[in-house]
Structure 1
Amino acid sequence: MLLLALDTATPAVTVALHDGERVLAEFSRVDARRHGELLMPAVDRVFREAGTELSAVTGIVVGQGPGPYTGLRVGLVTAAAFGAVTGAPVYGVCSLDGLAHAAGRAGLAGPFTVATDARRKEVYWARYTDPRTRVGEPAVDRPADIAERVAGTPAVGAGALLYRDVFREVPEGMPEHQSAGALAALAAEKLAAGDEAFLAGAGEPVRPLYLRRPDAQVPAHYKVVTPR
């Protein structure tokens, strides 16, 4: 098994190679405005460090969000292109699940909340009973609107750090941004366990979790300046 994992749903551009048992190589860089510029060099770097190449990949894992439209689609389109070129199946994993798994690897057992920065004074968030079990679907909300629902449990992620008045218990040493290594490790566990829902998803295009409309909109009324 050789999994190529990548995620651009958070400000972190993160890529890793995983052999089913351990991370062979991983690179992450936090830069919310340069996903498209940084992703391919990151992919090249992990292949060089691992001493292998794209043709050896047996599966591609991509974070499907939730995340901002522009950044998220960079990873999704790249994963789809790699899948088309190699014939390897493409597996979508909720990016919040990857962060939860990383928190578990850092020693957090649960229950807890994962929250990332959704901008517009909102967070993408979900609750977990343990690092592998999410409660319900991811959501996007203003922190003040979910204060009662997340009270009394630890929280991890950049969103939790940004709104400490709501997420009052943020343990030290927990992940702030996504880790492709954690994302790949979670996918490897699901593959090894024969997770039917996870395996079935490889036959379909990965569905992005945007949760809200993109900032860019086609103008409803605009002046025609070209000849009719």
Structure 2
Amino acid sequence: MASINISTIDFAKLDQFDAGEGYGDEVNKLLNAVCSPGFFYPDFKNAFGTKLVLREVKDAYAASDRYFDQSLETKMKDFRKGQPASSDRGYKFCETNESFEMSSDEMSDGSLSLPEVLAVTESSLNSLHQHCYIAANMLLDCLSNALNIPINEYHRDILPNEWAFPKPPAPGCAIVYGGNFLKLMSNGVLQSPLHRVTQLEDGAGKRFFLSYFLRPEEGAKERLESHL
């Protein structure tokens, strides 16, 4: 399978409160990446609070290892019946993977009830959630500012329709995917390529991934008017 290069964005340069040297260039680089191929690596190495976030991520992976190492019977106690499949709450599983999902609303209002094996890291998980929320909104602010430019400066022809692996990121990076709603709201300027998390090859060992989703509110159904 082919591999693709993904742009790395220096998150520290996107800080709106600084808006110093390199800000404009980095925002343009961000816009280019979300226009095509629709993915990018935010590099947090130089960003404020990075050491704390890396520790929180390490805590989350350790908690995941403990949680998913439990028996299916134990984990099924955290399965929430009667909720839509799209709801981000509790334990879920299918033939190829399993997950434990935490609602942002429940984390924010303090109503989230974690199983004991995860509750020991609740403070760290809440802090990681807040850091992800701040980072995601900063990226949206930058994209909102960048989209006030002519579309033909950033529009590209659609890439060939084939699967490809992104090349591994440098330490201190995450991977960000724009999503279908950004594509809809930008009239197709921002891309939302089909993607999946999978093993590199058959027989690979245990693998965990942390995902954070920033979704629009229920009332956000109409595309905003703009020259795009």
Where on the TM-score scale, by shorter chain, does this alignment land: which range? under 0.3
TM-score by length of 1: 0.28
Flag the structure with more relative contact order, 1 or 2, with Cα contacts below 8 A and sequence separation at least 6. Answer: 2
- TM-score, L = length of structure 2: 0.28
Which protein is bigger by CA-based radius of gyration?
Answer: 2
